[in-house]
Every structure is written in C-alpha cells, then in structure tokens.
Amino acid sequence: MAHSGDPFIKESMREFGETIFAEMSALAETTGAINLGQGFPDTDGPREIAELAISAIRDGHNQYPPGLGIERLRESITNHQSRFYDLDFDSKTEILVTAGATEAIAASLLAICEPNDEIITFEPYYDSYAASIALAGGIRRVVTLHTPDYSFSFDELEQSITKRTKAILLNSPHNPTGKVFTHEELTQIAELCVEYDLIAICDEVYEHLVFEGNHLPLIQYPEMRDRTIQISSAGKTFSFTGWKIGWVCAQPALLNTVRTAKQFLTYVNGAPFQHAIAEALLLPDEYFDNFLTDMVAKRDLLSRGLESVGLETFVPQGTYFVTADIKTLGYQDGKEFCLNLPESCGVVAVPNVVFYDNKDLGDTLIRFAFCKRVELLEEAVERLQTLESA
C-alpha cells in the first residue's frame, strides 16, 4: 500500500493509502483492460434472489432493521451452520448481521484490542486486516505462508505469541494465496489458542469455494466454541459483493462484545438485502454445487493459461484467486509489472507485495481473479500470450 502522504492522518494509519483494489479497478476503467484484479464476479448472483431484494423494497422493508439483523436472516444463518457444518447456534443470542465481513472484522478488533495488544495473522494478508488492526490501536505480528505450498512454521507461529497477544486472525480459504488450511494446521492453531488463551477471529468468506474436501471451521475444534468469532458474508457465495451482507457467529458474550463496537460503526445496514440473503442461504445443495463446479473450471482455465504463458503458477485449493510468479519471465517488481500490464497486454492483476510485511517475499508475485466469464478469461489468457520476457 502506498504512503498516503496525508498530513492530517494519525500515525498508525500513515502507511495506508488507497486500497490496491480501488487503484487497480480504476486503472482497468481508464485503460479498458480486462479486470482480473479486484475480486468481484462479472455476472450477478441468482435472478430470483435479486428479485427478492426488489420485492423487499416494494413491500416496504426500507427502515432500520433490528440491531442484530432481521430474525429470518439470523434463522437462515443458523440453519446454514447446522446444514453444512453440524454447528448449533442460537439465532437470538449468537448471530449478528454486519455490513459485510469487513465490518465484522473491524468491529471484532475494535472491540477486543487494548492499545498495543498484538494480533497475529498470516502474510500475505487481506489488506483490511492491517488497517483494521491499526484503527483498533493494535499491533500486527505476521507469520509467513511460504510458496510454493504456502506452508508455515508452527514454531514461528508459537514464537510470535507474547504476553500482549490477544487474538489470531485467520482466513481460510485464504486470500490472496488460495490456501486452504489443513485439519492438522487447524488442530495446531486451535491448541495454541487454548494454551495461550487467545481469541480466534476467523474470516471464512470463501467457505463455499473449497475445491477439494470440505471447509473446516476452526470454531468446531476442541475448546474453540467459546473463544472463536466466526465471520462470513454473502458477497462471494451468492455473487452479490455490492450488497455487503455479512455475519458473525459466536457464543453470546463474545457476540455481544462485537455488537457493542458494531452498533457504533454502521448500527445496521441493507434491510432489503437481508430479506433476500435470508432466502439465498436456504437455496438447495444444487446451487452451492454448481457454483463450485463452475469456479473449479475457471480456476483450471486461468491456472493453465498462466502456466502456458511461462509464469510459475500456484494453483489454489480455494477462493477465486490464483497467484503467479513473474520471476520465471525475468521480472523483479510485481508492482511495476501490474502498473504496466494494462498497456502491455490489456489485463489487470494485483501485486501481492502489498499484502506482505516482508516485502522481499512478495515482490515477484501477482494475483489474478478468475470469478469472470469464461470468454473473458480466455481472452485474457490470449492477451497474456503476448507477454515477453524481461
């Protein structure tokens, strides 16, 4: 992220400029390049779900919804949790609807962080994590996920825990790497949380984009039910990223903690969209299966395409992102490469370096989003074939 150069902003926020996603989408707009940068689908979710939002507006669901979210949506969230994970939540005391996962993460951090409390997360990390930790007055400590398989050192994770560590902020499936944390890794992370009395904040927005096996929520691991804030969102699962309907599932006291901060951020949001997502969560298995099958095909198309161009490609196990290494074509600087790519090839990607504290580890990595129409992905691959070695 660029230095903001803002003379008014507080010191802990100085390292944050415009988000890379906004910067790169603006570049796609001005150059007319194919936007494989920011992660949003180029086709909307189910028409019948969109119609429900329209009906909700027509039916007068246009004023503030209840603070926790509308009852029907909270019930659908608990239903979804038991249907997919066999997890049992009380819709009256353990579910909170938020303005996307972004607000849920920010509210969790704002609510639990004392000044200089440490939050551990894995790098590369989704950009809002660093900013939200800073806004909350916390300090981030990162543990690196190493290419090619994005494994990490368990010892390094344990050693990064100090007396000031408050929480581990975990994202699985993981953006930008596409890593899905294994049962063994989750078991070890859970054991550390218990041993050192840490809260786990789990960002699971890609829960329905696990390509092999099933999504494993950390909250279901031994002794994690009472110390985990489980977060998800409708944006990715139903291809309505602009609706910003997210949620938190946690035991009553922890849910209340998050709610205390959340109510002073947005208070509530998206009343008509809450009505629509309440029904989306109840869609038959066929919807979720087709969504996944479609995305696997797109993953394969783009991953093979990037390989054919001569880029080392780290095929993701989840999410809708694939990372490639430009080093294999002789390039060194991912940021510069991405700034030039619209002009040289008519394609936009995101430089992963912005998601790293250890910049040298991310310098040559770039991320492409494949949640786009097949024709567009094919066209992008064709354009990338014209890439020349440095």
Residue type, 327: K
At 199 the three-state DSSP class reads strand
Both tokens of 291, joined, read 């969504």
Instruction: Count helices and strands (H / E) in the chain.
Output: 14, 13
Handedness of CA 381, 385, 387, 390 (dihedral sign): positive
Radius of gyration of the chain (CA): 20
Task: Please report whether residue 352 would count as binding ligand PMP according to CB under 6 A.
Answer: no
Quote the least distance from Cβ 18 to ligand GLN, whole Å: 11
Task: Please report whether residue 365 would count as binding ligand PMP according to CB under 6 A.
Answer: no
Task: Please report whether residue 39 would count as binding ligand GLN according to CB under 6 A.
Answer: yes
Task: Please report whether residue 154 would count as binding ligand GLN according to CB under 6 A.
Answer: no
Q: How far apart are CA 248 and CA 250, in angstroms?
A: 6
What, of ligand PMP, ligand GLN, none, does residue 94 touch, CB below 5 to 8 Å by kind?
A: none
Angle at 9 between CA 5 and CA 12, to 5 degrees: 100
Task: Please report whether residue 241 would count as binding ligand PMP according to CB under 6 A.
Answer: yes
Q: How far is CA 186 from CA 45, 172, 190, in A?
A: 31, 10, 6
Binding residues for ligand PMP restricted to 117-176, rule: CB under 6 A: 126, 171, 175
Quote the least distance from Cβ 192 to ligand GLN, whole Å: 27
Q: How far apart are CA 345 and CA 387, in angstroms?
A: 7
Quote the least distance from Cβ 19 to ligand GLN, whole Å: 6
CA dihedral 88, 201, 2, 12 (to 10 degrees): 140
Quote the least distance from Cβ 203 to ligand PMP, whole Å: 5
Return the bridge partners of 171, or none: 203
Quote the least distance from Cβ 287 to ligand PMP, whole Å: 19
Task: Please report whether residue 177 would count as binding ligand PMP according to CB under 6 A.
Answer: no
Task: Please report whether residue 364 would count as binding ligand GLN according to CB under 6 A.
Answer: no
Among 175, 232, 257, 352, binds ligand GLN (CB under 6 A): 175
Task: Please report whether residue 233 would count as binding ligand PMP according to CB under 6 A.
Answer: yes
Both tokens of 188, joined, read 């070890």
Return the bridge partners of 168, or none: 120, 200
Among 23, 94, 123, 203, binds ligand PMP (CB under 6 A): 203
Residue in 52, 87, 58 with CA at minimum distance from that of residue 72 = 52
**Cβ pair 364, 31 in contact under 8 A:** no
Q: Which is nearer to ligand PMP, 140 or 236 (CB)?
A: 236
Q: Which is nearer to ligand GLN, 40 or 89 (CB)?
A: 40
Binding residues for ligand PMP restricted to 245-274, rule: CB under 6 A: 246
Binding residues for ligand PMP restricted to 276-305, rule: CB under 6 A: none
Task: Please report whether residue 38 would count as binding ligand GLN according to CB under 6 A.
Answer: yes
Binding residues for ligand PMP restricted to 21-60, rule: CB under 6 A: 39
What, of ligand PMP, ligand GLN, none, does residue 179 touch, CB below 5 to 8 Å by kind?
A: none
Q: Are strands 118-123 and 312-314 parallel, antiparallel or unpaired?
A: unpaired
Quote the least distance from Cβ 128 to ligand PMP, whole Å: 6
* 30 burial level (CB within 10 Å; 0-12, 13-18, 19+): exposed
Quote the least distance from Cβ 211 to ligand PMP, whole Å: 16
Binding site for ligand GLN (CB under 6 A): 19, 21, 38-39, 175
